[in-house]
Every structure is written in C-alpha cells, then in structure tokens.
Amino acid sequence: MLPIDLTGKRVLVAGVADDNGFGWAIAKAFAEAGANVCVATWPPALNIFLNLLERGKLDDSRQMPDGSMLTFERIYPLDAVYDNLESTPADIRENKRYKELGDFTIDGLAARLVADFGEQPLDIVFHSLANGPEVKKPLLEVSRAGYLAASSASAYSLVSMVQRLGPLMRPGGAVCSLTYMASERAIPGYGGGMSSAKAQLESDTRVLAFEAGRKWGVRVNTISAGPYASRAASAIGIIDTMVKYCAANSPLPEELSAREVGTTAAFLCSPLASAITGSTVYVDKGYHSMGMAVAPPTEDRAPR
C-alpha cells in the first residue's frame, strides 16, 4: 500500500471552532494519517468551542475510524487579522473575549508554538479561515472598510502566517489554504469583496510558493472547494441553493463532503505530493470544468 503517513509530524489547523466546517474535517484527516494536530480558534468562538468539547457535544464527530477519539495537542486562540499585540487596537485588547487570552495575534501564536514545542515545531500549516463582514452585499454596494476587512481576514492572514510560521517549519513542510471559485468566475451572492479576497489568496499562493520554496523548502498550495453548508458559508444566505445547483450541474452529480476536502488536504500536505506547489487544486466534484448548466435544481431532479 502507498500510505499517507504523517506519523511524527505536527500540523496546525487555523480556523476550527465547531465540527461543521472544513477545518474540523481537515484536522481529523491529518490525525487519521498519524499527525499531531494543534488547532487555532478565533477568540469570539473559542469559549463556545471549548464548552462543546468539554461537555462531550462533539464526541460523535471525534470518533476516529480506528475507534480512538480525535484529540488536539493544543487549542490556541488566534485572531488572524492581527500580526502583533502592539498594532492591535486597544478596544480589541480590552474586549472581554480577548483580554484574558494572552497574545492572540499571529506573532503570539508563533511564540506559543516555540515555547511549547521548541524552535522548529511545525511540519504543516493549514489556513481554513475567512471573514467578510459585508458578504451579503454585492460588490457594487461594498464599503472600502468591508472590502479591506475581507482581504485582511481572508487573504493577508495567509501571507502573515507564512511570514511568521515559515521559519518555524521543518524541511519538507507544507502550507495549504482553502479558496473558492468565485475568485475567477462571477458567483452572484458571494459578495462583500470575498471574491476579490479569494483571487488574492490564489495569486499569493503562487508567489508564496516561490518565495517560501526557495527560502525554507516549504510548499504552498490552495484547495478550491465546492460549496458546503458550514457555519461561515451559511452566513452568505444562499448556501443551500449553491450546494444544490453545483450538485445538479457537476460531472459528479452529488454534494461535496467535508471529508473529501480533508483527505485531499492530507494528501497535498504529505510527502506523496512533494512536487506539488503553487497549485490551486479543485475539490468540487468537477464543477469548475463545466461551461454550461445542465439543469436548474428541481425537486424531481434532486442530487443523489
């Protein structure tokens, strides 16, 4: 057998706050491949996530195929909009959800990883986070602040993470993120400048792959996932329509599962993918390859 074997590797998955999103499925796939998994969680969602875990509400989702339970080596607070505490606005540092957490910035995350595990603590960094406060607004109505906030949380966060975590990665390391096809085709309803942020993320993936490859031997890729009804995606307001439309019109006429994104992530970040870098890899049942809709989603033509 040709195994995806990540035994002895440490992964950081940034953007896990429940068991509904891609981040959870990705963390689980890495754990199934034998990696030690740390996660980083947005401070406003951290307490709820810790409570769900403590009260056993996520135990069903924590079940691993071998009968063991998914465990995280560490759960770090992270607001990926902030690079260091000095440049973080006082109202955030003083906010009740943030002030007891220590350094929740990307610099703080890097420092905690070094304090907990030593100088080169990481093999894999997975960026599974995005935020667009005006995502429901069409681009024609998006404010400058909303557009820049989407870019900051959803695109520059990756650049900053590679800048700060790249030096902590062991040789053969891999970085990966999640993008969406709205970066290259117009998807009505995916607003707020999020389409622009995803275009930045994909372009940055190519440039970071070159720079981080030459500097640290680290690979950088992004997975372009099909629509999936996570918590963040539900905020768009039309995610169910997007999921049904894609399932009805894809070469593989079925809904995408988070696990399919997780297993691709495990492969892409494993030594089996050692020659893949700078790529946008579609995990969308082939929808990106279509040039014409087959049919609108209707009740009698429901996806399998």
- Reply yes or no on whether 98 is catalytic: no
CB of 223 closer than 8 Å to CB of 264: yes
Helix (H, G, I), strand (E, B) or coil at 302: coil
Is 15 part of any known ligand binding site? yes
Dihedral sign, CA of 25, 30, 34, 39? Answer: negative
Output the smallest distance, CB 269 to ligand NAD, in A.
15
- Reply yes or no on whether 245 is catalytic: no
Dihedral sign, CA of 45, 193, 251, 249? Answer: positive
Is 193 part of any known ligand binding site? no
Q: Compute the distance between CA of residue 96 and CA of residue 94 in angstroms, rounded to an integer.
A: 6
Tokens matching residue 32: 């199934």
C-beta closer to ligand NAD: residue 92 or 276? 92
Tokens matching residue 129: 């986070």
**Which of these is catalytic: 82, 98, 156, 190?**
190
Q: Compute the distance between CA of residue 159 and CA of residue 81 in angstroms, rounded to an integer.
A: 11
Output the smallest distance, CB 5 to ligand NAD, in A.
26
C-beta closer to ligand NAD: residue 17 or 122? 17
C-beta closer to ligand NAD: residue 21 or 253? 21
Output the smallest distance, CB 223 to ligand NAD, in A.
8
Q: Compute the distance between CA of residue 158 and CA of residue 30 in angstroms, rounded to an integer.
A: 20
Q: Which residues bind ligand NAD (CB under 6 A)?
A: 15-17, 20-23, 42, 45, 78-81, 128-131, 153, 178-180, 225, 227-228, 230-233
C-beta closer to ligand NAD: residue 34 or 133? 133
Is 198 part of any known ligand binding site? yes
**Which of these is catalytic: 180, 228, 245, 287?**
180
The DSSP-derived string for 278-294 is S-EEEESTTGGG-SS--
List binding-site positions.
15, 129, 198
Catalytic residue IDs:
180, 190
Binding positions for NAD(+) are 15, 129, 198
